[in-house]
Chain A
Amino acid sequence: MESTREKRGNIFQRIFSFYYDGFKNMTVGKKLWAIIIIKLAIFFLILKLIFFPNFLNSNFSTDEERSDYVLEQLTTQE
Chain B
Amino acid sequence: MENIDFSLVDWSRAQFALTAYYHWLFVPLTLGITWIMAIMETIYVKTGNPEWKKATKFWMTLFGVNFAIGVSTGIILEFEFGTNWSNYSWFVGDIFGAPLAIEGIMAFFMETVFIAVMFFGWNRVSKKFHLTSTWLVAIGSNLSALWILVANGWMQNPAGMAFNLDTARNEMLNFWEVFLNPVAINKFLHTIFSSYVYAAAFVIGVSSWFLIKKRHVLMAKKSILIASVFGLLGALATVGTGDGSAYQVAQHQPMKLAAMEGLYEGSERADLVVFSFLKKADNPENRGDKEHVMKIQFPGLLSYLAYRDFDAFVPGVKDLIDGNPGQGIPPVSEKIEKGKLAIAALSDYKAHKDAGDVAAAEEARQVFDANFEYFGYGYFDDDVNALIPNVPVTFYSFHIMVGIGFILVAFFVASLIMTLTNRIARKRWLLIAGIVMIPLAFLAGQMGWTVAEMGRQPWVIQDVMPTMVAVSRINAGAVKLTFVLFALIFTGLLVAEIGIMLKQIKLGPKEGGE
Residue numbers of A with Cβ under 8 A of B are: 1-4, 6, 18-19, 21-23, 26-29, 31-33, 35-36, 39-40, 42-43, 47-48, 51-57, 63, 66-67, 70-71, 73-78
A25 to B350: give the CA distance in the assembly, Å: 62
Interface string of B455-493 (1 = CB under 8 A from A): 000000000000011001110001001100100010001
Interface residue B231 (Cβ < 8 Å from any Cβ of A): no
Query: Closest approach, in angstroms, between the C-beta of B499 and any C-beta of chain A?
Result: 10
B493 pairs with A39, CB closer than 8 A: yes
Interface residue B242 (Cβ < 8 Å from any Cβ of A): no
Residue in contact with A51 in the complex, picked from B121, B123, B482, B500, CB distance below 8 Å: B482
B86 pairs with A54, CB closer than 8 A: yes
Query: Closest approach, in angstroms, between the C-beta of B75 and any C-beta of chain A?
Result: 6
Residue in contact with A74 in the complex, picked from B119, B168, B473, B493, CB distance below 8 Å: B168
A78 pairs with B378, CB closer than 8 A: yes
A6 to B124: give the CA distance in the assembly, Å: 7
Q: A3-B120, A43-B75 are in contact. Are A56 and B90 (CB under 8 A)?
A: yes
How many inter-chain contacts with C-beta < 8 Å in the A-B complex? Answer: 133
Residue in contact with A77 in the complex, picked from B1, B481, B496, B514, CB distance below 8 Å: B1
A27 to B120: give the CA distance in the assembly, Å: 12
A3 to B469: give the CA distance in the assembly, Å: 56
Interface of B is mostly: helix
Q: Which partner residue on chain A sits nearest B117 by CB separation?
A: A18
Q: List residues of chain A with CB within 8 A of the CB of B340.
A: 78
Q: List residues of chain B with CB within 8 A of the CB of A52.
A: 79-80, 82-83, 482
Interface string of B368-404 (1 = CB under 8 A from A): 0000000000110000000000000000000000000
Q: Which partner residue on chain A sits nearest B80 by CB separation?
A: A52
Query: Closest approach, in angstroms, between the C-beta of A17 and any C-beta of chain B?
Result: 9
B72 pairs with A36, CB closer than 8 A: yes
Q: List residues of chain B with CB within 8 A of the CB of A56.
A: 82, 86, 89-90
Which of B60-68, B205-213, B422-430, B444-452 is the contact stretch? B60-68
Q: Which partner residue on chain A sits nearest B346 by CB separation?
A: A75
Query: Closest approach, in angstroms, between the C-beta of A58 and any C-beta of chain B?
Result: 9
Residue numbers of B with Cβ under 8 A of A are: 1, 3-4, 61, 64-65, 68-69, 71-72, 75-76, 79-80, 82-84, 86-87, 89-91, 116, 119-124, 166-169, 340, 343-344, 346-347, 350, 378-379, 468-469, 472-474, 478, 481-482, 485, 489, 493, 496, 500, 504, 512-514
A48 to B485: give the CA distance in the assembly, Å: 13
Q: List residues of chain B with CB within 8 A of the CB of A35.
A: 68-69, 493, 496
A28 pairs with B83, CB closer than 8 A: no
Q: List residues of chain A with CB within 8 A of the CB of B166.
A: 67
Q: List residues of chain A with CB within 8 A of the CB of B82.
A: 52, 54-57
Q: A43-B75, A51-B482 are in contact. Are A28 and B90 (CB under 8 A)?
A: no
B90 pairs with A70, CB closer than 8 A: yes
A19 pairs with B116, CB closer than 8 A: yes
Residue in contact with A73 in the complex, picked from B68, B469, B504, B514, CB distance below 8 Å: B469
Q: A1-B120, A18-B120, A28-B65 are in contact. Are A75 and B347 (CB under 8 A)?
A: yes
Q: List residues of chain A with CB within 8 A of the CB of B89.
A: 56
Q: List residues of chain B with CB within 8 A of the CB of A6.
A: 124
- 5 further interface pairs, Cβ-Cβ under 8 Å (given A18-B124, A28-B500, A63-B167): A35-B68, A35-B493, A36-B68, A78-B1, A78-B343
A53 to B472: give the CA distance in the assembly, Å: 12
A71 to B354: give the CA distance in the assembly, Å: 13
Q: A22-B119, A28-B61, A70-B87 are in contact. Are A55 and B124 (CB under 8 A)?
A: no
Query: Closest approach, in angstroms, between the C-beta of B167 and any C-beta of chain A?
Result: 5
Question: What are 6 A-B pairs with beta-carbon distances under 8 A?
Answer: A32-B65, A32-B500, A52-B79, A54-B82, A55-B82, A67-B166
Top 7 A-B residue pairs of the complex, sorted by shortest distance between their CB atoms: A22-B120, A55-B86, A54-B82, A32-B68, A75-B347, A52-B79, A70-B168
Q: List residues of chain A with CB within 8 A of the CB of B485.
A: 47, 51
Q: Which partner residue on chain A sits nearest B120 by CB separation?
A: A22
Q: List residues of chain B with CB within 8 A of the CB of A47.
A: 76, 79, 482, 485
A53 to B91: give the CA distance in the assembly, Å: 18
Query: Closest approach, in angstroms, between the C-beta of A16 and any C-beta of chain B?
Result: 12
A73 pairs with B83, CB closer than 8 A: no
Q: A32-B65, A35-B68, A78-B343 are in contact. Are A1 and B91 (CB under 8 A)?
A: no
A53 to B119: give the CA distance in the assembly, Å: 36
Q: Which partner residue on chain B sits nearest A20 by CB separation?
A: B120
Q: List residues of chain A with CB within 8 A of the CB of B379.
A: 77-78
Q: A6-B124, A35-B69 are in contact. Are A22 and B116 (CB under 8 A)?
A: yes
Q: List residues of chain A with CB within 8 A of the CB of B121.
A: 18
A47 to B46: give the CA distance in the assembly, Å: 48
Residue in contact with A36 in the complex, picked from B71, B347, B500, CB distance below 8 Å: B71
Q: A28-B64, A47-B79, A52-B82 are in contact. Are A74 and B71 (CB under 8 A)?
A: no
Query: Closest approach, in angstroms, between the C-beta of B450 and any C-beta of chain A?
Result: 25
A55 pairs with B489, CB closer than 8 A: no
A10 to B18: give the CA distance in the assembly, Å: 48
Q: Which partner residue on chain A sits nearest B124 by CB separation?
A: A3
Q: Which partner residue on chain A sits nearest B79 by CB separation?
A: A52
Q: List residues of chain B with CB within 8 A of the CB of A57.
A: 82
